[in-house]
Structure 1
Amino acid sequence: MKIKPSIIKHQWPFFNKSSAVNPYPLSDYTSLIFFSVILGIASGLTAVGLHEFIHLMNNLFFPSEFNFSGSLPLPYWVIAIPALGMFFQWLMSHQFPQQAKQKGVVEVIKAVSFRQGFISLKSTIFHFLAPAICMGTGGTVGPEAPAAKSGAGIVSALGQLFRLKGDKLRIFTAAGAGAAIAGVFNTPLAGVFFGIEVVLLNDLHASALTAFILSSVSASAVSRTFLGNQPKFIFNQLILGSYSTFIFYLLLGIGAGLLSVAFIRTSESVQKGFVNLYQKKVNPLFIMIIIGLLMGGAGWWIPDIFGIGYSCINKILAQGFNSPTVLILFILKFFLVILILRSGGFGGIFAPSMFLGACYGYLFSQSLNLLFHLHLDPTTYTLVGMGSMLAGINSVPITAILILFEMTNNYHFILPLMLGTVGSHLISHIALHGSIYLRELKREGYSYVFSRDIHVLRSIKVQDAVRADILLLPESAPSSEVIKKFLDSQHDTIYVVNHENKITGVIKSKTLRYVLAEYEQLHHLLLASDIAEPDVVYLRSEDNLEEAMKIFAHHQLEEIPVLDSADPRRIIGTLHYQDVLNAYNQLLNRLNLAEGLASEFKAIQEDALQEVIPGFSLAEVDVPEAFIGKSLAKLQLRNKYRIDVLMVEEGDQSIFTGQEEGKKQVMPDKDYVLKRGARLIIYGRTLDVVNFKKMAEKS
């Protein structure tokens, strides 16, 4: 489902009171700014709260007297701490199974696209606490998924409190996720593009961009107020090398892309393995405890693997590890992140992606230096590797570039970073045919068409797209008549009916080819019933096009006969697959025009046309006197005047001019009855729109 910012004269419930209560109602744009800032601050506070809660849990389970420098071994009982954390997570999942299933960034995407931006407060609280417990007890995962889920959830709850609904709540919920990322990483620009690339799946409208920018900047300001403005990653001067060595940055990105594909496919395979184990009644607690002990053992061996890993990344940037240790860290992180998250733990993969990239970039540069006696700077390649793995695993090339730029406060390595991230993203995208989030959505059964939900087809009945010209033949028709029918028509299918006019079979042109091959020997023996395939799939006139699309996909058909729902014996025509696609595109175009373009016309005079694309225009007209009291279906405006009614405004004033109390905009269906004083927003070819306006003005 496409996220469609409702730009047309929002009925902001918090502000649009009667003039007696509020004599100075805020404009739509001012209201958008107000809500963006307020909800961005709320999301920022949520991100700060998550950061502090993780820190609190970490101090509780790993006291400051622990020696993490590696000079002295940690006590053996440290191995049990991550296992204890996994136990708490299992307990929460056992007590709140519904909320436990709603994990990760994918749930934010589903909330924005499928649930009008609604996220339950109980789910928000659950995914604030459970990941903090995981990271606080040493789980080597990241904070971005719980931050996005918590930030979006808090904004959703506040939006409902402010009585925001529909598209407005969608926009702010999506913006809340991006703002939380901006807050938790202190990266306002990266927060904006996280919302665009991940939550909106690169499907953005201009009005949503305003909410994203203001929310992310507000959240980042809150984060800097409470957590400071120091860069997360510290390093000395970077040495980029000559332009002749820049090819190595691209090669680094290609390698990161291959590793990203390996990470995603390994993660998916491990998930299938755990699903199979759990279906065989293996206790999830047993599995999670074992993985917790593995995590604890790894942390006892190399303490830097515990937790989010920013301090370890800084050590790699400072070349504080030798290459074998970095390789071990890479292997441990690669598998432990997957095992923790897929077995039932909670957390994100942004920070682990950067950790893996840091290890990979360091090893890449050191290997080339050793093998080919080059002088590549390990620090620069570590940073580029971080961005490359982040882009490859999460399909966020722009976010990866910006997040590294903002987390380092250094833009000198931007060109090498772009080469690495773009190379990694391209390899990952080519190999996987979509992002990790889209793959997860598809596994769960959600259908997307260029990031748009197919459910918009629910609003169209089969009878509105049916073709009446269906070819019918009786069962007793000879094969010669079947062939003649095919030759005399443009149809590719003939339906065979019995004496009760019930379809009993279907003859397709490809079937007829085999008959023609033996026509001389068989034509006097074969009847239509002999040639027809008996398995016929039907639709009823009251079915919707979403149901039809599922049948088309399942049976691989090009057309389906349609029966009258009121009289199942009556055949009213056929529905063609291409007609469903055309109806889908027309509906999306209509919604986009009504919701995305009308806001641009507020300053236009009432008698003006607005050209949308060359040759097609929008206009606003009063309902002609002759149309009052009649439905759009009865008027048949498309057939008679070749125009579409996108919207009807009930009130005395145009939506193109100022504000007005009591005004209502309606997206009409075919049964909508036109009223006196209403105004129509019409769309069509410019000449047809002009002619209709002239007709309406004369009446």
Structure 2
Amino acid sequence: MPTQKLIRIRRTLEVAAGKAIKWLSEHISERNYQILVAIIIGIVAGLAAVVMKYSVAKVRDLMMDSNPSHSQIGFVFFPIIGIMLTVFYIRYILRRPLEIGTSWLIYAISKKRVNLPKDETYAHIVSSSLTVGLGGSVGLESPIVCTGAAIGSNLARLLRVGRRKQTLFLTCGAAAGLAAIFNCPVAAVIFAFEVLLTDIALHSFIPLLISAATGAVVSRFFYYEQIFYLPATDWSIKSIPFYGLLGMACGLLSVYMMRLTLYFKGYFAKKKRQREKFLVGGLALGVMIFLMPPLFGEGYETVNQLFTGDYSAITENSIFYQFSGNIWVVIAFAVAVVLTKAIAAAATIGMGGNGGVFAPAVFSGAVLGFIFAITVNMVGITHLHVADFIAVGMAGILSGLIKSPLTGIFLVAEITGGYTLFVPLMIVSALSYFISHYFEPYSVFTKDLYYKGLWAPSHEKDRQILHHLNLEELIERNFAVLRPENTLGQLVKVISNSKRNVFPVVDNQGNLKGILLLDDVRELMFKPEKYLTVFVKDLMYPPPTMLDVKESMESVMDKFERHQAWNLPILKDGKYMGFVSKSSVFGKYREILQRESEES
């Protein structure tokens, strides 16, 4: 009975929404309609961010209450417990795999698969609250971006808009979520342009800006917290060469972090058993947090202590705290923390936790800036303002890691209030981006996607259009199928009823055994005496190559060119499905190119 009531309520809401949509479309302009939807998305995504931050705070309070003595052993096990609870929630309550990270969102947008599941409007909130709230070494930005995107996508589906508008509203949700979680509306809009929608039209800027601003206002109204407190200072012109050196160091560290993150991502992906992931990842994460407590959680508290000049705080609760009076021990400890933060973050996600790379990047950049400035000061080369270098270091690592220097600049300016540091932020971010781009042309989000043939940057137009093609949609199934035991006479009968000149030979289990071309049997067709003595298995031969339904379009086109083929068979789980023709690929390519030209 309750289920029937819920169904009736849902239908009533859908009818009401349909009437509201019709009324709006008749009474307001298209531009105002988009702005109104952007405001709604911003409000909902902002509330989602408030719920996420509140949930993390409550989980953290429960954790602290359960460990009143602040035992270090307790803090070692809390992150592992959080990840276990996250895995339990995804596997037994959500009951489907949850795509984690910004990479899958970039992939979904590039493939035009913007219908995100409804449960992702809340699943990331629950799972990330458990992971981050209990001390996982990651941040909330990726879960809230995915949550906001799901909110935008599902609202767009309810409004029955086209694919291009649905993509825009999805991105509005992502920007609103990021703006709300960090209180950084400008950086959120730039992130949307730099990372998610690199080829979006400029007229989409207004809905994105309004959505991000709305999300930030809602979050600030209900749950305002200043993440970092940067002492007000003015940078010195004499420090510019040192900002340049820090920028180079940030570039190199971001390359190190990216390679390490992706390596461990692949390492954990190869381990199929969750028990094995917990054993390896849990042991590694536990040891690292025990030796280096700043790796616990996002690490923002440690960064704030560094901002205030409490440098020994980085060794607090560690076995090295007794040596915190020696600044060189503190520096060496900070170096170890920076080098292991990427491993801790990768282990957290690899075991099944939900979080993003922004927090590890911001933390690592801050500690690197501290190491650089305090070392220069201790050596006596000059005197640098350490807090300034902590702030610009954040932007440097972020710019190098996600290949989005403007996002790094404005994010740090907004979350620290360090607007007077724009010039140092620009220097460090630009140099970090340049150095990291030299070694790693793609971001931590897109590197794997690019080399797997699942994504292409906007300047590679041909490759990008290929990524929009869906191989399954190109399969042609109107081919007459032969059996190996068929006789020549049966083959002739099949040929007479077929409009194709290619014939797949498939066994009773659906396995492709070979192919036949009409030209290969043309002469035999006129020899009736062989109709009963010659079999298809005597005439068939292997195709030049075969395609898999999961194969990338780049690989498909490469096979067409390499084998000079016009039709290739395609398999799914080793079973024959049909053929893909080069002409159908080119036809679909031209169709997409024309459509995008008309929409731009």
Same fold (TM over 0.5): yes
Query: Contact 1:447–1:454 at 8 Å: present in 2 too?
Result: no
Q: TM-score when scaled to structure 2? A: 0.73
The alpha-carbon deviation at position 247 of structure 1 amounts to 2.5
Q: What's the CA shift for 1:588?
A: 4.6
Displacement of 1:267 after TM fit?
1.7
* Alignment of structure 1 residues 314-325 onto 2, 5 Å: 314-321=304-311, 322-325=330-333
Separation in 2, partners of 1:433, 1:64: 46
How many angstroms apart in 2 are the aligned matches of 1:80 and 1:374?
43
Letter in 1 for 2:64: F
Q: 1:595 aligns with which of 583, 592, 599?
A: 599
Q: Report the CA distance between 1:286 and its aligned residue.
A: 4.6
1:188-587 aligned at under 5 Å gives the runs 188-200=185-197, 202-228=198-224, 231-243=226-238, 245-276=239-270, 278-279=271-272, 283-288=273-278, 291-292=281-282, 294-296=284-286, 298-299=288-289, 303-321=293-311, 322-371=330-379, 373-442=381-450, 445-448=453-456, 450=458, 452-454=464-466, 456=468, 500=522, 537=544, 550-554=555-559, 556-557=561-562, 559-561=564-566, 586-587=590-591
Looking at structure 2, the residues matched to 413 and 24 of structure 1 have their Cα atoms a distance apart, in angstroms, of: 48
For 1:382, give the aligned amino acid: I
The separation in 1 between residues aligned to 2:128 and 2:121, in whole angstroms, is: 11
Match of 2:174 among 173, 177, 180: 177
Q: Residues 249-307 of structure 1: CA distance to partner in whole angstroms, max 9, x if unpaired?
A: 1221121111111111112222332233x24xxx4235325644554555455544322
For residue 84 of structure 1, report the CA deviation from its aligned partner: 1.6
**Deviation of the 1:145 alpha carbon:** 0.6
For the residue of structure 2 that corresponds to 1:388, the secondary structure is helix
Aligned partners of 1:499 and 1:232: how far apart in 2? 75
Please tell me whether the aligned partners of residues 299 and 306 of structure 1 are also in contact (alpha carbons under 8 angstroms): yes
Higher helix proportion (structure 1 or 2): 2
Residue 59 of structure 1 corresponds to: 61
* Among 109, 129, 142, the residue aligned to 1:132: 129
- Counterpart amino acid of 2:297? G
- After superposition, the Cα gap between the structure-2 partners of 1:562 and 1:356, relative to the gap in structure 1 and judged at 3 Å, is closer
Separation in 2, partners of 1:302, 1:262: 19
TM-score, normalising length from structure 1?
0.63
Kindly indicate which of the two structures has a greater share of residues assigned to strand. 1
Cα distance 1:302–1:552, how it changes in 2: closer, same or farther (>3 A)? Answer: closer
Partner AA of 2:256 in structure 1: A
Larger RCO, structures 1/2 (Cα 8 Å, 6+ apart): 2
| Alignment check: 8 A CA contact 2:453 2:552 kept | no
Residue pair 2:474, 2:585 contacting (<8 A) in 1 also? no
Counterpart check, 1:50 vs 2:90:
no
> Is the contact made by 2:141 and 2:178 (CA closer than 8 Å) also made in structure 1?
yes
Write the deviation string for residues 552-579 of structure 1: whole angstroms up to 9, x where unpaired. 313643954579xxxxxxxxxx969xx9
Q: CA deviation at 1:416?
A: 0.9
Contact 2:453 2:554 in 1 (8 A): no
Query: CA 1:178 to 1:59, structure 2 compared with 1: closer, same or farther past 3 Å?
Result: same
- 2:41 corresponding residue in structure 1: 39
* Aligned length in residues: 490
RMSD, aligned CA: 3.6
Check whether the contact 2:141–2:355 (CA below 8 A) recurs between aligned residues. yes
Match for 1:554: what amino acid?
K
Say whether residues 1:88 and 2:85 are aligned partners: yes
Relative distance call for 1:190 and 1:297 in structure 2 (3 A) is same
State how far apart, in whole Å, the 1-side matches of 2:36 and 2:48 are: 19
User: Aligned partners of 1:372 and 1:453: how far apart in 2?
Assistant: 56
Which residue identity is paired with 1:217?
A
Query: Deviation string for 1:315-358 (max 9, x for gaps)?
Result: 11222124234234323423211211123221111011010001
In our comparison, the structure showing a higher alpha carbon Rg is 1
SS in 2 for 1:246: helix
Alignment of 1:70-85 (within 5 A): 74=71, 76-85=73-82
Tell me the secondary structure at the aligned position of residue 355 of structure 2: coil
Distance 1:584 1:246, change over 3 A: farther
- The change in CA–CA distance for 1:423 and 1:585 in structure 2 (over 3 A counts) is farther
The residue type paired with residue 45 of structure 2 is: S
> Identity over aligned residues, as a percent?
25
The one-letter code sitting in structure 1 at the alignment partner of 2:102 is V
SS in 2 for 1:593: helix
- State the alpha-carbon separation in 1 of the partners of residues 67 and 215 from structure 2: 34
Contiguous gaps of at least 5 residues in structure 2: 1-16, 312-329, 477-518, 525-540, 569-580
**Which amino acid is the alignment partner of residue 313 of structure 1?**
V
Mapped to 1, the partners of 2:67 and 2:347 lie a distance apart of: 29
